[in-house]
Structure formats: C-alpha cells, structure tokens
C-alpha cells in the first residue's frame, strides 16, 4: 500500500521519470533546447519535430532537459526496430546474395548492440539521473550503427543505407540532447 502511494505521488508530481528534474539539469523550452543542442538546420528541424510530438512549443513552457533526452533515446530505439525488421525481412525472403546476406546479418547483430546501449540510456541512466556513463553509452551505440553503415555502404542500392542514415541521425539527436545534461 505504501509503495502504491509513493508511485501515485511520483506520477502526480512529475509525470514519472520522464518529467524528473535532476539536480543541476536545466529546464528549457523546446526551441531553446533544440537550438542549444543542434548545430545544423537539419538536426534542429529533426529536434523540433521529435520534441514537438510530445512537448508544447510555447516558449514560456520549460521542461527538464532529461525528459527531452529520454524521448530522443526512445525514438532512436523505435527507429532501430524498423531497420532491423526490414533487414530481417530481406534475410528471410532469400533474395540476398552472399555479401548482402553477410552485411545484413552483421547489421542485425550490431543493431542489437546499439539498441542495448540506447536502452541503457533510456531505462538505466536517465530516469535515476545517473549521467556518469551516459556519454559512453551514446558513443557505443553510435559505433555499432557506424559498423553497420560501413558494411552496407559497399552494397549497391541497399535500402539499409538510407535507413541507417536515419538511425544515425536519431542517435546523434539523442546524444546532442544528452549533452545538455553536461555529460
């Protein structure tokens, strides 16, 4: 009973872990967070689109940056799942040649590692405000996506090229928003 009361109080005060304000972490409006996190127009637009799905764009409405970083990490994991599903579908249909088959198999494996890293960010590090290993988890995931990219770049007309680019951009956005946590 006591645990239920604690959970109800936590949810009513901050929306759970996603709305948690960690010590020393700023609260910013969406536009300010995207402007500070993103150096290019492409990433800024992507940030505004991603955060705009859940958060109010009103400049007078500030949200803990932790919530933005959490949303971006969750979106990255969702994006990875789409790519893995496509690669798995292509592996099952039997139309891939030897080099393509090997590249896609490695990509599915590397994406598993990238997902694990981003899951660690979203589930184990951001909610409890544990930022010590955050940068390393982002970098681990990015390196795994880069490993896949290196394999599929050699392939002609692979649908995974474009999908991997989207995934890397999602991972970079998560990382850039994570940097606002002073990692």
Maximum Cα–Cα distance across the chain: 60
Contact 17, 126 (CB under 8 A): yes
**Pairwise CA distance, residues 49 & 112, whole Å:** 26
What are the tokens at 57? 């764009």
CA distance 115 to 112: 5
Q: 1-183: what CATH class? A: mainly alpha
d(C-alpha 182, C-alpha 63), whole Å: 16
Domain map (residue ranges) of the chain: 1-183
pLDDT tens profile 101-121: 999 999 999 999 999 999 999
Least-confidence region, from 24-28, 93-97, 165-169: 93-97
For 51-102, write each residue's pLDDT tens digit: 999 999 899 999 999 999 999 999 999 999 999 999 999 999 878 888 899 9
pLDDT at 10: 34
Task: Decide if 177 contacts 136 (C-beta within 8 A).
Answer: no
H helix intervals, 22-63: 30-37, 41-52
| DSSP character at residue 156 | T
Task: For residue 175, give both structure tokens.
Answer: 């990382």
At 131, list the tokens: 């930022």
Q: What percent of the chain has pLDDT over 90?
A: 78
């Amino acid at each position: 009973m006591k645990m239920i009361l604690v959970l109800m109080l936590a949810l009513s005060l901050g929306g759970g872990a996603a709305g948690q304000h960690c010590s020393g972490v700023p609260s910013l409006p969406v536009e300010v967070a995207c402007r500070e996190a993103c150096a290019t127009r492409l990433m800024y637009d992507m940030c505004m689109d991603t955060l705009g799905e859940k958060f109010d764009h009103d400049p007078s409405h500030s949200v803990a940056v932790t919530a933005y970083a959490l949303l971006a990490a969750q979106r990255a994991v969702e994006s990875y799942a789409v790519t893995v599903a496509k690669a798995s579908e292509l592996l099952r249909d039997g139309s891939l040649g030897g080099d393509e088959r090997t590249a896609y198999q490695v990509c599915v494996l590397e994406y598993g590692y990238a997902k694990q890293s981003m899951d660690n960010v979203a589930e184990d590090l951001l909610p409890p405000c544990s930022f010590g290993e955050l940068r390393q988890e982002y970098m681990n995931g990015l390196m795994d996506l880069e490993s896949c990219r290196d394999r599929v770049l050699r392939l002609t007309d692979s649908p995974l090229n474009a999908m991997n680019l989207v995934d890397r951009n999602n991972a970079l956005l998560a990382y850039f928003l994570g940097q606002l946590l002073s990692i």
